Amino acid sequence: MSLPRRPRLLTPARSHTRSLFFAPHAGFLRHRLTAVLSALTTAFLAVGLVAVGVAAPASAVAAKNTITAVVSCSSDYHWTVTWSVQNTSSASETISASSDTALVPVGTAIGAGETKTFTETFSGPVDKTLILDGEWPYSVKSHDQGSITTGQFTGTCAAPPPPPPTATCVPDSAISYTYSTATNSGAVTVAKPANSTGVLCTPLYVTATSWKFTQNAVWPQTLDQVQKLAITASGTYPYSAALACGQGDIYASRGSFVEPTSTLAGSQAWETFLSGYGFATSTPGNSYTVQPYDCYGLATPVAPSVTSVTACGTYGTVTAAMTTGVVYVVTFDKTTGAYTVTATPAAGYHFTGYQTVTFTGNTGTYTECPPVVVPPTPRTNIVAVCGVADVHISNDFTPAEHTIGQDFTAQIFVDGQLKDTVLVASGSSTSNHYTFVNDSGEHLIEVKVNGGLIGSTTVESACALVTAADPTAQTCVDNQLVDGQIFVALNDHIVYRIDGTVVTTSYTSVTTGTHDVTAELVDPNAGYTLQGEAHWTFVVPGAPTDCGQLVTHPLVTPTLSSSNQSCSAQGFYTLDAVEGVVWTVNGTIVPAGTYAVTSAKTVEVLASTVSSDFGFEQDAQTDWTLTFTDPANCGQLNTLAFTGAGGDTGGMLIVGLLFLLAGAGVYTVGRVKRARAE
């Protein structure tokens, strides 16, 4: 059976908007909208991924601890090392591991960008490394270290020595002295105790004095010698006042010097003695002495000084002594050598014992010495002028005791022939005069002794010297002008002058016109005479009128050009060809032309004229320094690089870019499929 049909429900009409987007063949608008949504989706994915990479804190990438150490010396003289740990990140960290937990404990927190210091001390230089592990948010970790070495412990870190104790002055207990009664002398010694300034606490003034008896009794006395010593510091101070029949006193004072009077008639209140101060001494007793007063007027004779004969021709000598209060009388026969010296007291003096003392003896007998013969000393001096010669011969001898000189015979030869024989006595001289006829020759004079030549000279007999001078006019040779000349007959004994100037060559070039020529003897006393003119006046004529014209060249200017090397062409310099110019490059003459340059160099160029016939223009440049350099940056390419992204951030940007490219590909493939389905 058939069931009755249900009424068909009418499909609601689609809204206009729905039909617009989802109609099977909606057309152009639906395709465009789909494309836009796909592109936006891909872009959001890429940007999201990049944002994820960028959103990570920068400290997660650059987290690090910078560990440094500084060494110093503490106030209690220990080496102090101050460690600085800087968190270079923008996030706080916690120390998770430490190589020295006593110095930097585990768990130490260091804020973002914070620097914490940790201090430790050492007794001496050490090498040490501090290793720290840090942790930051997002599980970022860093393992860092810093070190110190013994080289950073410079200078010293030791306590200074304690200051020395304060020095004190030198006490009197450091003073000692010695004294000799025989010489009235001694020395004061001031020691320098430890930790003393070396300066006496109280100065000591010493006055060494001696007196002389004025009669055969102790008193009165007259002042003889005085020496003063101001003793203020450590050291040794000798003192002395020599005695000569009298009394010696060594005074001392602490305030100033004791000043002795000119005479002394007995003990005085002002006399304070060195021995009275109680200073240590190795010669105990009083510091004064008195000689026996009978020394007054006592004289002691002294034996004479005697020199005995030791060689022939000499005499002995006897010299009486010089003794105060003694008169000596000397009797001496120098031939036999016997002598007697008698000594007696002078007025007011006396001897001990006998009042006459005699000294006798013998110095030795005088004997003559045989004479010493002194060999002769032949000398000659030949004074020669033209035509005349004086021959002087001498036999030098200086007389002395027991010496005699010898004579000698000299022979005078003229031109090899014996002319004279001369006996020359010891200590005398002779002269011989020779005159030669004007025979235009030379004559040899020789002086010989025992066949040996002792002097010679040559004498000229041609004493008349002929003078001559002659001028020559200017001439033309190959159209070139040649100067005129003046000829003179040169001679070693004649001086020629042209216009007042001495000439040394036979021919002298001169200009046209009047010239003055003179001749004179070199030595007017040499025996020569001038034969002929001694003064000339010459007129030198000019060249003939038919002499060709001289070639005249214009002034020239040297020029050159140059070009440096480039990436496409070599360098060069060009020396222009200019008539009359010669080019020199780096010291070598080169021809004009162009020269290539293929490397960096400096070229020195000089221009000069080929001869004196050419000249340069005024202000013309004649030397150059050409500098050639290598071209720069030939054949190099510029390279561009991505900058600004580092570490993980750059990697995330690259991943985002790949996602963006992938989204664009998906969108393109989807659109192609839809286009085909439609």
Pairing of strands 464-466, 529-531: parallel
Of the two residues 140 and 48, the one the predictor is more confident about is 140
Residues 570 and 584 in one domain: yes
Q: What is the pLDDT of residue 633?
A: 76
- For the chain, give the percent of residues with pLDDT over 90: 55
Q: What is the pLDDT of residue 666?
A: 46
Per-residue pLDDT reduced to its tens digit, 312-361: 888 999 999 999 999 999 999 999 999 999 999 987 788 888 889 999 99
Contacts of 594 (CB under 8 A, 6+ apart): 572, 573, 574, 575
Lowest mean pLDDT among 58-72, 250-264, 494-508, 559-573: 58-72
CA distance 241 to 220: 19
On the question of a cis peptide bond just before residue 304, with omega within 30 degrees of 0, the verdict is: no
Classify residue 44: in a domain, yes or no.
no
Q: What is the pLDDT of residue 665?
A: 55
- Give the highest mean pLDDT range of 263-277, 433-447, 521-535: 263-277
Q: What is the pLDDT of residue 353?
A: 82
- For the chain, give the percent of residues with pLDDT over 70: 82
Residues 340 and 445 in one domain: no
Confidence of residue 473 (pLDDT cuts 50, 70, 90): confident
pLDDT of residue 655 exceeding 90, the answer is: no
Q: What DSSP state is assigned to residue 322?
A: -
The HSE-up count of residue 495 (CA atoms within 13 Å, CB side) is 10
> Chain-centre distance of CA 583, in angstroms?
45
Closest CA to 385 of 492, 440, 454, 463: 463
Enter the tokens of residue 134.
């840090």
CA distance 496 to 536: 11
Q: What is the pLDDT of residue 371?
A: 87
Per-residue pLDDT reduced to its tens digit, 156-201: 888 888 888 888 999 999 999 999 999 999 999 999 999 999 999 9
pLDDT of residue 13 exceeding 90, the answer is: no
Classify residue 656: in a domain, yes or no.
no
Per-residue pLDDT reduced to its tens digit, 45-101: 444 434 434 444 443 447 899 999 999 998 888 899 999 999 999 999 999 999 999
* Domain span at 203: 169-295
Classify residue 549: in a domain, yes or no.
no
Question: What is the model's pTM?
Answer: 0.31
The CATH number covering residue 115 comes to 2.60.40.10
State the residue for tokens 């430490």: 98
Mean pLDDT of the chain: 83
Q: What is the pLDDT of residue 8?
A: 41
Residues 84 and 134 in one domain: yes
Residues 199 and 284 in one domain: yes
CA distance 585 to 480: 34
Residue that is last in its domain, among 125, 152, 179: 152
Per-residue pLDDT reduced to its tens digit, 92-139: 999 999 999 999 999 999 999 999 999 999 988 999 999 999 999 988
Of the two residues 638 and 300, the one the predictor is more confident about is 300
- Give the highest mean pLDDT range of 49-63, 466-480, 520-534: 520-534
Question: Is residue 124 a contact partner of residue 42, using CB atoms and an 8 Å limit?
Answer: no
Q: What is the pLDDT of residue 77?
A: 87
Residues 483 and 592 in one domain: no
Per-residue pLDDT reduced to its tens digit, 406-426: 999 999 999 999 999 999 999
Classify residue 550: in a domain, yes or no.
no
Residues 242 and 353 in one domain: no
Contacts of 316 (CB under 8 A, 6+ apart): 306, 307, 308, 309, 334, 337, 362, 363, 364, 366
Q: What is the pLDDT of residue 61?
A: 47
How many structural domains comprise the chain?
A: 6
Residues 268 and 325 in one domain: no
Confidence of residue 304 (pLDDT cuts 50, 70, 90): very high
Q: What is the mean pLDDT of residues 472-494?
A: 80
Residues 483 and 596 in one domain: no
State the residue for tokens 């991943």: 655
Residues 119 and 78 in one domain: yes
Q: What is the pLDDT of residue 385?
A: 87
Closest CA to 474 of 486, 465, 466, 490: 486
Of the two residues 420 and 401, the one the predictor is more confident about is 420
Confidence of residue 545 (pLDDT cuts 50, 70, 90): low
Amino acid present at 154: T
pLDDT of residue 43 exceeding 50, the answer is: no
Q: What is the pLDDT of residue 542?
A: 75
Q: For residue 419, how many other CB atoms are within 10 A of its CB? A: 14
Q: What is the pLDDT of residue 2?
A: 40
Residues 174 and 141 in one domain: no
Q: What is the pLDDT of residue 38?
A: 52
Residues 173 and 261 in one domain: yes
- As beta bridge partners, residue 93 has 110
Classify residue 35: in a domain, yes or no.
no
Per-residue pLDDT reduced to its tens digit, 571-615: 999 999 998 898 999 988 888 999 988 889 999 999 998 766 678
Residue that is last in its domain, among 440, 459, 478: 459
Question: Is residue 474 a contact partner of residue 443, using CB atoms and an 8 Å limit?
Answer: no
Residue that is last in its domain, among 268, 295, 322: 295
- As a 3-state breakdown, the chain gives helix, strand, coil percent values, each rounded to 5, of 15, 45, 40
Q: What is the pLDDT of residue 244?
A: 87
Q: What is the pLDDT of residue 29?
A: 42
Classify residue 300: in a domain, yes or no.
no
Confidence of residue 478 (pLDDT cuts 50, 70, 90): low
pLDDT of residue 512 exceeding 80, the answer is: yes
Residues 565 and 578 in one domain: yes
Classify residue 183: in a domain, yes or no.
yes
Question: Is residue 553 a contact partner of residue 489, using CB atoms and an 8 Å limit?
Answer: no
Confidence of residue 525 (pLDDT cuts 50, 70, 90): confident
Pairing of strands 235-240, 246-253: unpaired
Classify residue 162: in a domain, yes or no.
no
